[in-house]
Amino acid sequence: MNLLTVQTQLMQAGVPKMFGTRKEVNYLPQLLSDDEVIQYAASGMYDGNTVLIVLTQKRIMFVDKGMIYGVQTSEIPLDMVNGVSDKCGVLLGEISVMNGVSWAHIKNIPKIAVPVLSDKIKRASEAYKQSLYRPQIEVGQSSQPLSQNLIADELIKLKSLVDNGVLTEEEFQAQKTKLLSQ
Per-residue confidence (pLDDT) for residue 142, from 0 to 100: 45
Per-residue confidence (pLDDT) for residue 137, from 0 to 100: 53
Q: Given strand 59-66, what is the order of strands in its sheet?
A: 70-77, 59-66, 49-56, 38-46, 102-110, 92-99, 81-88
Per-residue confidence (pLDDT) for residue 61, from 0 to 100: 96
33 with 5: CB under 8 angstroms?
Answer: no
Per-residue confidence (pLDDT) for residue 101, from 0 to 100: 82
What is the value of pTM for the model shown?
0.72
**pLDDT tens sequence for the chain (182 residues):** 899 999 999 999 999 877 778 899 999 999 999 999 999 999 999 988 899 999 999 999 999 987 777 899 999 999 999 999 999 999 999 999 999 889 999 999 999 999 999 999 999 999 999 888 765 555 545 444 556 667 777 888 888 788 878 778 888 888 888 877 76
88 with 114: CB under 8 angstroms?
Answer: yes
